[in-house]
Amino acid sequence: MSGKKSFILLLITVLLVGISVVTTAADFWFVQITDAHIGVSSNDNGKSGPNGIQNAETLKLAIDKINNLKQNIKFVAMTGDLFNHGADNLPDVKLAKSIFEKLKFPLYIVPGNHDIESPNNPDTVSDREAECAKAFEENFNPIFFKINQDGVGLYFVTTGWYHLVPNIPGYDPYERLKEEFAMVPCEPKIVFQHHPPLSNSPFDSKWGQDDLLKYQRLISTNNVKAVIGGHLHRFVADWVGRVPVYVCAPTGSYVGDARQSNILLYHYTNGKLRCYDYQVKQNDN
Ligand SMILES: [Fe+2]
């Protein structure tokens, strides 16, 4: 073997060992909250009503629960539908920010359809969509961003309801993600988004097959360890290709149906992601 070939072989070995070390060395905990739907309330039967418990109050309990978890939490991911009536609803935005001020950990949020799209018009995008996305970015974080957590890429990706690409001028989550992934194909990754990319499942994102297939191909070929979503208002553990998809049940009590308020606790270790369900109103610490 020539000296040049030996050098290339050595370089590849060093790179592979390096990737393996990054994949296995990362060991961290985080929490997911989702579908808080601030702006509505529930009575004892889980029905919406003016005399019920505001979902904002339930979110406060969830924050308190997270602050008191015994694990070393690195961050909290909120996977959308923070609001019920749009991210441009300023009184609700102010209320959410005042609740999150109590959270002891970094908070990353992706908006859902109730934050940036019309909740009553699933077949067409709302004409408030761009305004809601702008209000969301002004008050929280960008609608697409990446965080590096101990060598694991965390991608927070705003997608659309019924459409992978929401109607926000100049924004295409598929192209953005493809571009980002191409720069670091071997990096272990976790993708956070509101609409889980599921098909052939009892509960799915309602995207068209073309959107689902191209997105699934992108997720399945870039060392994504898990996709984490909300929107379905129930716990789901499913797959997109060979990648697990975890969906947290809603953190809000009333979300159009009667649900317990939930959070998911995650542990990333040895290149795998495990999750544990907590009911907010149950004393199970
Ligand atoms: Fe929701």
Q: Closest Cα partner for 156 from 105, 227, 262?
A: 227
| CA 249 to ligand 1 centroid distance, Å | 9
Q: How far apart are CA 230 and CA 262, in angstroms?
A: 11
| CA 183 to ligand 1 centroid distance, Å | 33
Which residues make up the environment of ion ligand 1, defined by Cβ < 5 Å? 35, 81
The pLDDT, as a whole number, for residue 44 is 46
The pLDDT, as a whole number, for residue 158 is 97
| CA 112 to ligand 1 centroid distance, Å | 7
Q: How far apart are CA 229 and CA 235, in angstroms?
A: 10
The pLDDT, as a whole number, for residue 184 is 97
Other CB atoms within 10 A of residue 83 CB: 27
| 122 phi and psi angles, rounded to 5 deg | -70, -20
The pLDDT, as a whole number, for residue 203 is 81
The pLDDT, as a whole number, for residue 254 is 63
pTM above 0.85?
yes
| CA 267 to ligand 1 centroid distance, Å | 24
Domain definitions of the chain by residue range? 27-279
User: Would you write out the chain's pLDDT as a tens digit for each of its 285 residues?
Assistant: 566 666 666 656 555 545 555 556 899 999 999 999 998 865 544 455 555 568 888 899 999 999 999 999 999 999 999 998 889 889 999 999 999 999 999 999 999 999 997 655 655 556 788 889 999 999 999 999 999 999 999 999 999 888 899 888 899 999 999 999 999 999 999 999 999 999 878 887 788 899 999 999 999 999 999 999 999 988 999 999 889 999 999 998 766 655 678 999 999 999 999 999 998 877 665
- Domain 27-279, CATH among 3.40.50.10420, 1.20.1050.10, 3.60.21.10, 1.10.10.1800: 3.60.21.10
Q: How far apart are CA 252 and CA 275, in angstroms?
A: 19
